[in-house]
Amino acid sequence: MTVRRAAELLSAASSGLALTGAGISAESGIPTFRGEGGVWTKYDPVKVASIDAFLQDPAAYWRVSKERGGIALAARPNPGHYALAALEAAGRLAAIVTQNTDGLHQDSGGRRVIEVHGSGRTVECLDCGAREPRSDVQARLDVEMPPRCTTCGSTVMKPTVVLFGEPMPVAAMQEAFALAREADVMLVVGTSLVVHPAADIPLAAVRSGARLIVVNAEPTPFDSLAEVVIHGLSGEVLPEIVRLLGGR
Ligand code: NAD
Ligand code: ZN
């Protein structure tokens, strides 16, 4: 019933917007940060994923990142990613804003994907600014820890993701908030909505009159603001919405 209501809202959307988090990639085998089995139950985020910790000890950062990066590079999109791409292709979503850095929305055919926490597919030298594909850097981590810049030899090579203590990418945030203010339907998927300012995006949408749909495995702080709340797996719920819309 709620899935049907979500499909109805989306079928009438002319400026829909999606916001996704780690949960949408869980069914692709990438662990989430919070919740059951989440990475933060294993590591302290400020110790491993802050810019200060990185600068103090790049090798310690890379030892953790090596494992996660390997998983993310090998991951493939799941039916939830494909369903969002289908909603975008059908004109029901103007864009997909994501907190994820795994690139799976692009791999599944998403066209306008706004990465508010950067991309893990690229690594940047903080000394000379040279960039390399993550896959190249990943391939030499077994023999080089931390990895060295192939241009200048520096050991401060950082994935182009936003670490704790780093500013958000200004252009991506502005684009996301502008789309949120124009949105008639806001679809939030697989995010605990506790990381700000990304969590302010759906708030901006609701304040400007968007109707909110939340699809998440667990309750979120935004459920009370939503017109439709579906507690389920995105890889099951989103394809069902697309089916009801007659997409496939
Ligand atoms: P989170 O880890 O805080 O929360 C994930 C949420 O997804 C939880 O509420 C959980 O209940 C839900 N969930 C888990 N499996 C699900 C499923 N199959 N279907 C629907 N919901 C499911 O995620 P977040 O809020 O995105 O965390 C914030 C930060 O973590 C972001 O900055 C993001 O960059 C980073 N992150 C990214 C990745 C990735 O790129 N794949 C992975 C982990 C964390
Ligand atoms: Zn360099």
Is there an atom of ligand 1 within 6 Å of 118 CB? no
What pLDDT is attached to residue 12?
95
Provide mean pLDDT across the span 59-77: 94
52 contact partners, CB below 8 Å, separation of at least 6: 165
Provide mean pLDDT across the span 173-198: 95
pLDDT band for position 173 (cuts 50, 70, 90): very high
pLDDT tens digits along 10-41: 999 999 999 999 999 999 999 998 766 665 56
Residues in the chain: 248
Does position 138 have pLDDT exceeding 60, yes or no? yes
Omega prior to 159 cis, within 30 of 0: no
Instruction: Using most ligand atoms within 8 A of CB, pick from 3, 28, 32 the residue to mutate for ligand 1.
Output: 32
Average pLDDT in the chain = 94
Using CB atoms within 10 Å of the CB of residue 76, give its burial: 0 to 12 exposed, 13 to 18 middle, 19+ buried.
Answer: exposed
Q: How far apart are CA 13 and CA 87, in angstroms?
A: 10
Is there an atom of ligand 1 within 6 Å of 33 CB? yes
Ligand with an atom nearest the CA of residue 83? 1
Contact yes or no for 123/147 (Cβ under 8 A): yes
Does position 205 have pLDDT exceeding 60, yes or no? yes
The 3-class SS string of 4-58 reads HHHHHHHHCCCCCEEEECHHHHHHHCCCCCCCCCCHHHCCCHHHHCEHHHHHHCH
Residue 168 sits at the vertex; the CA angle it makes with 166 and 174, to the nearest 5 degrees, is: 165
Contact yes or no for 185/10 (Cβ under 8 A): yes
β-bridge partners, 79: none
Question: Dmax of the chain from CA atoms?
Answer: 58
Q: How far apart are CA 186 and CA 87, in angstroms?
A: 13
Is there an atom of ligand 1 within 6 Å of 78 CB? no
pTM for this entry? 0.94
Q: How far apart are CA 109 and CA 153, in angstroms?
A: 36
Q: How far apart are CA 96 and CA 223, in angstroms?
A: 20
